[in-house]
Structure 1
Amino acid sequence: MTLTILKPGPQTSVQDLGRDGYAALGVPRGGACDPLSLRLANLVAGNAAGAAALEITLGGLALRFDAPTVFAWAGATMGVTLDGVALSPAHRYAAAKGAVLRFGFAEHGARAYLALAGGIDVAPVLGSRSTGLLAGIGGFKGRALCAGDVIECGEAEPRLPGVAVAQAERGEHLRVLPGPDWPLLGQDAQRQLLRTPWHIGLASNRMGMRLTGTAVDVASASSLASHAVMPGCVQLPPSGEPIVLLADAQTTGGYLRPLVVIRADLWRAGQFKPGDTLRFVEVDTAAALAATTAQRDWLERMRRALAWEGR
């Protein structure tokens, strides 16, 4: 089965759950900026949770199905239609040959994930089908999709449409733990970082969210040598305005690391778009672990329920 891209929107790319184990070689993990929505769309479509799907940033995608197929989408609210009929997120749908699927521009959230039954069939690179946009590797020819691209999908067992589940609520906060360099900030700077309502800047991308607001005084902090960083790390450059690293984050950096987004909220970080406001909420290690466990349990319940439905 193939589909043809009619309009790609600002940025649509093939993504899965990324490349593990290559950070020592300078290769970012990459993958979906919102891994929870990717997993959810895949499970509803009848795929393995980590199958390759399309990540649609800020909407604007239009495509044509070149054969009958089953699909699901999840993530940001975008006003999605199939031949003009409005669709809902986290529902399973069937499309006829020639049907046109359109994503409006993002209303709430930044990224949506389109999962086709059978997954997106592109060659794995370093164990992943995700697109490394900066390096030009993986995905579809190592780049974001363009009008006229024809995308191949894998084989899938027949699935009945009509299945639906509920999405998680994003909210306007990110739960964080103190990072390695938290003690280097003075108490006033620590309070300001946590209490300031930060705004998502226009320079944000898949590498990281650049936040704007009242700058934090970092004059008293020591300069640092380069060190390891990863998605979820909150960097504080000399400007005093934080950067929240996302899926395509570099593997090393030299800025202060005062905070780290907890694993259970990485998906939330991928759903803020320019102009949105966020606040950091400090939690302890026990709360962070409990949140991760609850999220895994929720996904497992979803997987089991959908697997039972498919029998």
Structure 2
Amino acid sequence: MASFEESAPVPLDAEEMRRLRVARLERIGKWVLPIAIMCVAIFLWDRIVVWNEIPHYILPRPIDVLQALIDDRALLFSSLLTTLRITGLGLLLAVVGGVGLAVLFAQSKWVEMSFFPFAIVLQVTPIVAIFPLINIYVDNQTAKLLLCAWIVAFFPILSNTTLGLNSVDRNLRDLFKLNGATRWQELWHLRLPAAMPYFLGGLKIAGGLALIGAVVAEFVAGSAGQSSGLASRIIESGYRLRTARLFAALILISLTGIVIFMTLTWISHMMLRRWHESALKQEQ
């Protein structure tokens, strides 16, 4: 009898019940509130167009944008694939170059002092100011766009990874030295794992910037044709007053940015959830 009483669950007090109820409401509200607000915004958009009798070439109704998305889906989604290809390749090059250079910076202060200012110059100089030079020296249109996407996405990965590699606990580094670890063993087994949260944080920033770089570069380049990206569709639709298609292309760019951010956030969580404090808090 006593053992049964000992194994019986302890009833939750009122405060614990309140916290559980608040946590449940927050989990539901995290999805319901944005969807509800978006629905209200779309409804108001539609009503403003109808009430003010705004011409469709000035501001189309949401149903017109949806219809353009359906009617022009072949053209828009082929352009989306072009933009995604430039974004993905730019991000991949930024990861390879940023991480590789950050490792060199971590291994040699002289290398960091020599080359880090050039990375800062690339970051603070607007891409629209650099593009005329790229346009002169690079002939291939895809290479131009790819270079712009890489330049924009490169610095967050380099900066964050360098910060992570240099933020290792000095006591742990001394422990590795006492045990005779080489510089590369210390890098592989200590500094790279410690820098992983910083790198993943920079990766989430760089993913959105790579998309922005690809779109802005295409705006500046003014490229057109069947193999052009979404930015070219926006330019073309603006010239032809096909405003519904223009809005459809804008929506695809926004949704692409959201998907990229959510995917990289999920990857970050999956890689950190078993050992890093930031991911462990989300698991609770």
What TM-score results when the alignment is normalised by the length of structure 2? 0.23
Which of the pair is proportionally richer in helix?
Answer: 2
What TM-score results when the alignment is normalised by the length of structure 1? 0.21
Structure number with greater Rg is 2
Which of the pair is proportionally richer in strand?
Answer: 1
Query: Which structure exhibits the higher relative contact order, with contacts defined as CA atoms closer than 8 Å and separated by 6 or more residues?
Result: 2
